[in-house]
Amino acid sequence: MSGVLKTAQAGTLESGDIMITIASGPSDSGIVLELDSIVLAQYGKAISQTIRAVLTAQGITDVYIKAVDRGALDCTIKARTLTALGRAGAVLKEDLV
Amino acid sequence: MELRRSMLFIPGNSPAMLQNGGVFGADSVILDLEDAVAPTEKDSARMLVAHALQHVDYGTSETVVRINPLDTFGEQDIRAIVPCEPGALMVPKVQSAADIKKVAEWVAGAEKPGQAPVKLVALLETPQGIQEAYSIAQADSRVVALALGAEDYTASLGAQRSKEGSEIFTARSMVVNAAAAAGIQSIDTPFTDANDEEGLREDTITAKKFGFKGKLAINPRQVDIIHSIYNPSLADIDWAEQVVAALQKAEAEGSGVASLNGKMVDAPIVSRAQQILYLANLLGLRKETVE
Amino acid sequence: MKNAIGREIPELIDGFGQTVPFAGAFQTTPTMQRQAPKVKTIRPGQSKLMDSLEEVFKKIPITDGMTLSFHHHFRNGDGVVNMVLETAAKLGIKGLKIALSSVFPVHAPMIEHIKNGVVTALDTNYMSGPVAQAVSKGILEKPVILRTHGGRARAIECGQLNIDVAFIAAPAADDYGNINGVQGPAACGSLGYAFPDAEFASNVVAVTDHLVEYPLSPVSIPQTRVDYVVKVERVGDPKGIVSGTTRITKDPVGLKIADAAARVIEASGLLKDGFSFQTGAGGASLATAHFVRQMMERKNITGSFALGGITGYMVEMLEKGLFKKLMDVQGFDLDAIRSIAANPNHMEISANFYASPFNNGCAVNKLDVVILGATEIDTDFNVNVVTGSDGVIMGGSGGHADAAAGASITIVVANLLRGRLPIIVDRVLTATTPGETIDVLVTERGVAVNPRRSDLKEKLLAAGLPVKEIAELKSEAERIAGVPDSLVTGERIVAVVEYRDGTIIDVVRQLEE
């Protein structure tokens, strides 16, 4: 865990986008993900997996995430999650920002 | 030489638009990190465009990313975007050859080993940039096109933009000439009223007459209209085929001089005919005669 | 048992009865007689004018278990259904069947009446909003019957949907029961969907807020079929009834699809003098009309007629001489109302005339091309326009299956991806329109032709259209979005989807909680 995260947000509620809000979780809370999606039945599992994979790859362990999805593709979900992490103060492993 | 009849701007922070950017058949899509993105969203758009480049299929469209000006987020954009293998970067507000040299150096530093070299399109949108057009065009071998941005340019001039565009007559001429002199392409400024199809048609005809090789587009609906002007007409193709036939006939007869309808077929005519046939072949417009 | 498109249909459905499975679009022939309501008489001097709905209820009288019918020309501005049901509730009437041609969000109060037992059955062609959601969650014990516009007209005419009382929301009426849709504050244009109800119901009641001096003219529904007239304060909210001007979409993807659809029509060879056409009022459908119009203007083509729901855009094409006639079963905007009231070439047609399969010929049979939408389409070209991605009812056939069956070429226009969801699936959740009646699917990433139409496929390929196999388009969508998980449905049937000929094409099952 790379220090305490600020609460931060990325993305919008427009069609095809996803809004990710990130806040620091208590230690040992693990990744707590609250997902709301217009395609929950079809892609709920996939979305949750994508977000968790990004967090794990960045070494983030204890975090609260709220994701409001409007039908975003995988690459959008990754980008928005990484942006939210960057804004929250996490030091990203990929030099993309 | 790649076709750049149309170069279509796609806002860099809109997932829906980025996802569909490839369906409009533009020769290039320009994923825009500059004007289309609010200052507070630059990080978000950069990340989104980086991922789009790696995962979205833009079909036959060349991927171009318009980065931010060099004095703002330009360097950051280059570091993030270049390794994602865009076809080219569009550099805004280029003022001088030095700007391009700086960008070329940053791009070289950001490229992954073995990556196809990222090309540059210089967007000229200031009086100084227009004045320096030729040296900008020659500043680096990565530069493949000069594009004219007339909105900012006329604002600096203090001239009023008009539909017929007499205020950008000089700028258009200078950009086209500088690009041609440097052996690269010239791309005309966008027509900003997306609802005025007739206006776009006329403006594209004007651009083509000036010698521009293509036009920037700010709305997907503009792509087909721009192409309809830039594509050779059936009459053009017919004429070009006659020129080539006349040439072949002259060669077969051992004559040094070919003629068509009583006129001598000289080098410029041959060159124009070949250009038309090249385009027609590329666009599949000669299907019937080839089969 | 499985029907002709492989959907599992129980032989007996609780609250519906015995089913006849769908056998093919033109495989079922009628054997019945037409419905004949009781002959009536009225003497000189006898008044039809009633003081209130309550008085009408008592006069008829309306009793438990009856079927009350309504039209949907007031769309989301309708006030009459709610008024009538409130009256029924007040009088303690139970067990009513409501045959309302389409259900809109404005009809939300019906949910209370269902809970209280006032309403126990629903028969409709389209439903959206709170009632549709409640039905999907199983609020009604009996499954809703979902018909097509032509199928409803057929069911009424053939005595399969027997109406005890038709309440006809009337924009204008006189005291002897003549009705039209073009005058008064709630003007809606054509009253096409109310015609079968007026013709075959046992009792017909005109409900109006614009009572004019006898005789009203023009007359759409005549006094000879109307038993009672009630004046109320307000039959509906004009804002919900018509839109101002229907505009062409600006969505570039929608326009791209529409442009390709127009090129499909051109390539089919049908775009010539005498061309007939139907298209919806929404998104890419209406935009297709725009591109077709440009082609007609360029080639100097005069079409024969445009059919169906009419918008100002079609009116403009009539007025510019691009079509000779409009056949209007339902008007969508102020221009459509203005035109139908004044232009003799703008015809008001009934639902039977428009689309009923069991009469001596309906207008959809004369269609060259229809443009339709879809929420899902499967690799057999079966289309779903009933349930949304969450499995909840959000629409219905309306005229979808009718026009698809009638037209020479049926084109479905749809985004290959709606948000993240691929439009093409292996198996639609609910089949509304059979694939045998769908010829072409046009998306932003290519065009798929039904294998039954190899003639058409060749023409489209020759015209340079981006023709692909439907399975190929499906994998393309899944490459972009990922393969979606399927919805899990339960056993309980909440709606029975009837094909236009009265056979059962599918059922809607309640979702697992």
* CATH number of the domain encompassing residue C476: 3.40.1080.10
Residues of B in contact with A10 (CB under 8 A): 44
Residue A1 has a pLDDT of 44
- Give mean pLDDT, residues C299-305: 97
Q: CA nearest A94: which of A61, A41, A54?
A: A54
Tell me the C-alpha to C-alpha distance, in Å, between residue A34 and each of A67, C154, C295.
6, 50, 51
**How far does C418 lie from chain A, in Å, by closest CA?**
8
pLDDT at C91 over 70: yes
Is there a contact between C420 and A41 if contact means CB atoms under 8 Å apart?
A: no
> How many Cβ atoms from other residues are within 10 Å of residue B60's Cβ?
9
Number of structural domains in chain B: 2
Cβ atoms of B74 and B103 within 8 Å: the answer is: yes
pLDDT at C379 over 80: yes
Task: Examine the domain organization and report whether C227 and C258 are in the same domain.
Answer: no
Task: Examine the domain organization and report whether C396 and C471 are in the same domain.
Answer: yes
Task: Examine the domain organization and report whether C224 and C270 are in the same domain.
Answer: no
Residue C513 near chain A (CB below 8 Å): no
Number of structural domains in chain A: 1
Nearest residue in B to C476, CA atom: B57
Give the SS3 label for residue C378. strand
Is residue A93 included in any domain, yes or no?
A: no
Domain boundary among C241, C269, C292: C241
Residue A94 has a pLDDT of 64
Residue B259 near chain C (CB below 8 Å): no
Task: Examine the domain organization and report whether B185 and B76 are in the same domain.
Answer: yes
* CA-angle at B259, arms to B254 and B262, nearest 5°: 140
Q: CA nearest C388: which of C375, C379, C400?
A: C375
List all residues of chain B from 42 to 101 with a beta carbon under 8 Å from chain C: 56-57
pLDDT at B248 over 90: no
Residue A73 near chain B (CB below 8 Å): yes
Q: Which of C444, C464, C479 sits opposite B23 (nearest CB)?
A: C444
Residue C485 near chain A (CB below 8 Å): yes
Is residue C416 included in any domain, yes or no?
A: yes
Nearest residue in A to B78, CA atom: A96
Is residue B1 included in any domain, yes or no?
A: no
Residues of A in contact with B80 (CB under 8 A): 95-97
The percentage of residues in chain B with a pLDDT greater than 70, rounded to a whole number, is 98
**Structure confidence by residue, pLDDT tens digits, C484-500:** 999 988 999 999 999 99
Tell me the C-alpha to C-alpha distance, in Å, between residue A69 and each of A37, B118, C445.
4, 34, 24
The percentage of residues in chain C with a pLDDT greater than 90, rounded to a whole number, is 94
Distance CA B69, CA B258 (A): 52
Task: Examine the domain organization and report whether B36 and B132 are in the same domain.
Answer: yes
Give the SS3 label for residue C426. coil
Please report, as a single letter, which amino acid is at residue C265: I
Residue C470 parent element (H or E): helix C470-481
Is residue A48 included in any domain, yes or no?
A: yes
Please report, as a single letter, which amino acid is at residue B232: P
Q: Which chains touch B (3 or more CB pairs under 8 A)?
A: A, C
Domain boundary among B230, B252, B267: B230
- Give mean pLDDT, residues C399-421: 96
Is residue A51 included in any domain, yes or no?
A: yes
pLDDT at B234 over 70: yes
Phi, psi of B62 (to 5 degrees): -70, 140
Is residue C510 included in any domain, yes or no?
A: no
Is residue A61 included in any domain, yes or no?
A: yes
Task: Examine the domain organization and report whether C64 and C164 are in the same domain.
Answer: yes
Please report, as a single letter, which amino acid is at residue C212: V
**Structure confidence by residue, pLDDT tens digits, B125-181:** 999 999 999 999 999 999 999 999 999 999 999 999 999 899 999 999 999 999 999
**Structure confidence by residue, pLDDT tens digits, B71-129:** 999 999 999 999 999 999 999 999 999 999 999 999 999 999 999 999 999 999 999 99
Nearest residue in A to B51, CA atom: A75
Top residue of A39, A49, A70, A78 to mutate, by most chain C CBs within 10 Å, is A39
Is there a contact between B23 and C255 if contact means CB atoms under 8 Å apart?
A: no
Number of structural domains in chain C: 2
Contacts of B180 (CB under 8 A, 6+ apart): B186, B211
Nearest residue in A to B76, CA atom: A97
Nearest residue in B to A95, CA atom: B80
**Structure confidence by residue, pLDDT tens digits, B194-205:** 999 999 999 999
Is there a contact between A71 and C391 if contact means CB atoms under 8 Å apart?
A: no
Distance CA C328, CA C309 (A): 6
**How far does A27 lie from chain B, in Å, by closest CA?**
28
Is residue A41 included in any domain, yes or no?
A: yes
Q: CA nearest C22: which of C425, C355, C321, C437?
A: C437
Is residue B79 included in any domain, yes or no?
A: yes
Task: Examine the domain organization and report whether B149 and B217 are in the same domain.
Answer: yes
Task: Examine the domain organization and report whether C313 and C440 are in the same domain.
Answer: yes
Residues of C in contact with B23 (CB under 8 A): 253, 256, 444-445
Task: Examine the domain organization and report whether C261 and C156 are in the same domain.
Answer: no
Those residues of chain A that have pLDDT short of 70 are 1-3, 94-97
Distance CA C254, CA C287 (A): 8
Is residue C506 included in any domain, yes or no?
A: no
Task: Examine the domain organization and report whether B11 and B145 are in the same domain.
Answer: yes
Residue A96 has a pLDDT of 47
Is residue A69 included in any domain, yes or no?
A: yes
> How many Cβ atoms from other residues are within 10 Å of residue C30's Cβ?
14
Is residue C370 included in any domain, yes or no?
A: yes
Contacts of C193 (CB under 8 A, 6+ apart): C71, C72, C73, C101, C149, C152, C329, C330, C351
Domain boundary among B203, B230, B257: B230
Task: Examine the domain organization and report whether C136 and C198 are in the same domain.
Answer: yes
Tell me the C-alpha to C-alpha distance, in Å, between residue B191 and each of A51, B122, C24.
41, 18, 53
End-to-end CA distance of chain B: 25
Give the SS3 label for residue C67. strand
* pTM of the entire predicted model: 0.93
Nearest residue in B to A85, CA atom: B44
* CA-angle at C340, arms to C339 and C345, nearest 5°: 90
Task: Examine the domain organization and report whether C362 and C431 are in the same domain.
Answer: yes
Task: Examine the domain organization and report whether C175 and C288 are in the same domain.
Answer: no
Top residue of A35, A40, A43 to mutate, by most chain C CBs within 10 Å, is A43
Task: Examine the domain organization and report whether C202 and C295 are in the same domain.
Answer: no
Task: Examine the domain organization and report whether B268 and B124 are in the same domain.
Answer: no
**Structure confidence by residue, pLDDT tens digits, C10-65:** 999 999 999 999 999 999 999 999 999 999 999 999 999 999 999 999 999 999 99
Residue B289 has a pLDDT of 47
Residue B221 near chain C (CB below 8 Å): yes
- Give mean pLDDT, residues C202-228: 98
Contacts of C439 (CB under 8 A, 6+ apart): C409, C410, C411, C449, C450, C452, C453, C456
Give the SS3 label for residue C469. coil
Residues of B in contact with C418 (CB under 8 A): none
Residue C92 near chain A (CB below 8 Å): no
Is residue A15 included in any domain, yes or no?
A: yes
Q: Which of B23, B56, B219 sits opposite C253 (nearest CB)?
A: B23
Is residue C7 included in any domain, yes or no?
A: no
What mean pLDDT is reported for chain B?
Answer: 93
Residues of A in contact with B14 (CB under 8 A): 14, 16-17
- Give mean pLDDT, residues C306-323: 95
Is there a contact between B220 and C480 if contact means CB atoms under 8 Å apart?
A: no
Is residue A94 included in any domain, yes or no?
A: no
Residues in chain C: 513
Is there a contact between A38 and C389 if contact means CB atoms under 8 Å apart?
A: yes
pLDDT at C358 over 70: yes
Residue B44: which pLDDT band, with cuts at 50, 70 and 90? very high
Using the Cα atoms of residue B157, residue B162, residue B166 and residue B171 in order, give the sign of their dihedral.
positive
Q: Which residue has the tokens 């050779």?
A: B232
Task: Examine the domain organization and report whether B188 and B137 are in the same domain.
Answer: yes
Return the CATH number at A70. Answer: 3.30.230.10
Residue B287 has a pLDDT of 54
Host domain of residue A82: 8-88
Task: Examine the domain organization and report whether C227 and C339 are in the same domain.
Answer: no
- Give mean pLDDT, residues C246-275: 94
Task: Examine the domain organization and report whether C89 and C183 are in the same domain.
Answer: yes
Is there a contact between B19 and C445 if contact means CB atoms under 8 Å apart?
A: no
Residue A83 near chain B (CB below 8 Å): yes
Top residue of C375, C420, C423 to mutate, by most chain A CBs within 10 Å, is C420
How many H-runs (helices) and E-runs (strands) does chain C carry? Answer: 15, 29
Is residue C505 included in any domain, yes or no?
A: no
ipTM of the complex: 0.93
Top residue of C251, C253, C479 to mutate, by most chain B CBs within 10 Å, is C253
Residue C391 near chain A (CB below 8 Å): yes
Q: How many CB pairs under 8 A join A and B?
A: 58
Residue C366: which pLDDT band, with cuts at 50, 70 and 90? very high
Q: CA nearest C278: which of C409, C442, C154?
A: C409
Host domain of residue B263: 234-290
Host domain of residue C213: 48-241
Residue B278 has a pLDDT of 87
Task: Examine the domain organization and report whether B42 and B155 are in the same domain.
Answer: yes
Whether the link from the prior residue into B232 is cis, omega within 30° of 0, is no
Q: CA nearest C180: which of C224, C131, C218?
A: C218
Whether the link from the prior residue into C434 is cis, omega within 30° of 0, is no
Cβ atoms of B10 and B31 within 8 Å: the answer is: yes
pLDDT at B230 over 70: yes
Distance CA B90, CA B145 (A): 9
